[in-house]
A and B are shown apart, each in its own frame.
Chain A
Amino acid sequence: MSANMDETVSVGYEAWADALRSDRILGVSCSDCGATYGTPISVCHDCGSRNLESVDLPTEGTLYSVTRVEVPPTGFEGPYHVGIVQVGAARVTARIETDADDAPPEIDDSVVFSGVMETDDGLPAPVFTTETS
């Protein structure tokens, strides 16, 4: 048997979601070429390897981009901020929160992983909060 099925599952979405609910952000890293991805995939985009291992991504990062959504989809109450956070070598999409008195989040702001939100249909998403200086 060429592939270890358990290992494949260990780096998939369920593991990512479970980890998120335990205050960890899982990415994957390629054992063959070292490329790191912010969300699990089954095959390395850089070298084609299937030897991807889960890695804990840093819980502090910087905003790579961010927007304030004022017209939300059904199931969400706006306005809110969604951003792409650079965490180490990877990026993750997350809800971005600020303290009430803080200015709106901007690119290059320092943010810290502060928890998880969950949709009505049970899908989790990471939440980062801007660090007050």
Chain B
Amino acid sequence: MTRASVVGTGMTTFGVHESSLPELFARAALSAYDDAGVDPADIDAFYFGNAMGGQTENDTHLAPTLATEVGLAGVPAQRFEDACATSANAFKNAVQAVEAGIHDTILVGGVERCTPETGKGTGEMTRIFASASHRQYEQPTGLTFPGVFALLTKRHMHEYGTTEEQLAHVAVKNHGNGTHNPRAHFGSETTVEEVLDSPIVADPFHLMDCCPFSDGAAAVVVTSDDSAASFDGPVDVTGVGHATDLVPLGLKPTLHATQAARDAATQAYEQAGVTADEIDFAEVHDCFTGAEVLASEAIGFFEDGQGGPAAEAGRTALDGDRPINPSGGLKAKGHPIGATGVAQIVELTEQLRGEAGDRQLDDPQRGLAHNLGGDAGTTVISIMEART
């Protein structure tokens, strides 16, 4: 059943941007207006995600500031924060609001700046990212976010024999996909050897297993099922699952299960009335190569322990039987934290409209987005379908 529809998309290139957060966001928002064929007067509310603007740029209370920038001053505007799942949560709430009849048409978006353009280098940005781990029971050990996902992935390697080479294949595939995405942060191919020869960040992750620090913004226009028919190219949202897991890591019963993703996927599949086998492709939260392997199992694309071999065998490639991250994923497209969840929705929409250019999959009918926050403490899973 259709819960809501996406009728317009816009995003900036992901990479390095000098623009302020409001002006960067405006580029994505105005593109989304144009794609939907709407004016600000057609928008009833603004649901917005930014994770770390207070820490990175001393910039908070951004919802009305950004609303003013894009002509929406006066409408209800709210900011969401759920670490890297920030704007997927904004999207979920927008879907619920139009479904419930609270608003008819909503601008949903996210923006973040994480590169040295913020004035902060690797050490300081690593510290800010680590604020999403437990303040009392994890941060004092010096745990970083590459470290968090390294701990998850090391356990997965121990349980199933997943190898560093299999992880490297995820990076190679996503870099290859990124070369077909003009908005990707990285537009170059890489090789398994290059990944394995790059310096260690937190073992087993080499630098080339990690997504970059990126600046960028993404926005979509969400409207009710009833109103969608009056727009060109609506793409339907049929399920949005959202679950949390225990924090800190030491409280999670099975570290590598990423249980919130499994719970959110179950909800989303039930709402959409489909199984994992009926999903044609997925955008998953590959902040690190190991995270994509864990996600590919959590959403049911592969049996537990088979995510690594599947990546190595090419099953998740554009021409594979289970394509994952045709956009290039966080790994190659980039990861401006608060923009990432909505950027996944942009990719789902473009693929399901058949407008994805050189990375277009073969007539996909149904796609899934997996946006994970923090130490896998939050996951939002969205399912979208082409309107027939």
Contact = CB atoms under 8 A, between A and B. Distances in A.
Interface of A: 13, 16-17, 37-39, 41, 45, 64-76, 78, 80, 82-84, 90-95, 107-108, 117-119, 123-126
Contact of B251 (A38, A64, A73): A38
A93 B126 contact: no
A72 B122 CA distance: 9
Interface stretch (B4-12, B131-139, B171-179, B183-191): B131-139
Interface of B: 122-124, 126-127, 130, 134-144, 146-147, 150-152, 154-155, 158, 199-204, 246, 248-251, 255
A77 B255 CA distance: 27
A64 B136 CA distance: 20
A68 B142 contact: no
Contact of A67 (B126, B138, B151, B250): B151
Given A37-B251, A73-B127, A92-B250, A67 B141 contact: no
A93 B201 contact: no
B142 A82 contact: yes
B151 A66 contact: yes
28 contacts: A38-B250, A39-B137, A39-B248, A45-B246, A64-B155, A65-B154, A67-B202, A68-B203, A69-B142, A70-B199, A70-B200, A70-B203, A71-B201, A71-B202, A72-B144, A73-B130, A73-B142, A82-B141, A82-B147, A82-B151, A84-B250, A90-B250, A91-B251, A93-B248, A93-B249, A94-B141, A95-B141, A124-B140
Nearest to A116: B140
B144 A73 contact: yes
Nearest to A76: B142
Contacts of B136: 13, 16-17, 39, 123
Contacts of A95: 141-142
Given A64-B155, A74-B126, A84-B255, A69 B250 contact: no
B320 to A, nearest CB: 29
A71 B122 contact: yes
A96 B199 CA distance: 21
Contact of B143 (A37, A90, A93, A107): A93
Lowest 3 CB-CB distances: which A-B pairs, in order?
A: A73-B127, A67-B150, A125-B140
Given A39-B251, A69-B143, A93 B155 contact: no
B140 A123 contact: yes
B355 to A, nearest CB: 38
Contacts of A38: 250-251
Contacts of A71: 122, 126, 144, 146, 201-202
A16 B127 CA distance: 24
Contacts of A64: 155, 255
Nearest to A107: B158
B144 A66 contact: no
Contacts of A70: 199-203
A72 B141 contact: no
A49 to B, nearest CB: 16
Given A39-B248, A67-B202, A71-B146, A125 B141 contact: yes
A65 B159 CA distance: 11
A123 B123 CA distance: 19
Contact of A91 (B123, B130, B135, B250): B250
Contacts of B201: 70-71
A16 B134 CA distance: 14
A39 B140 contact: no
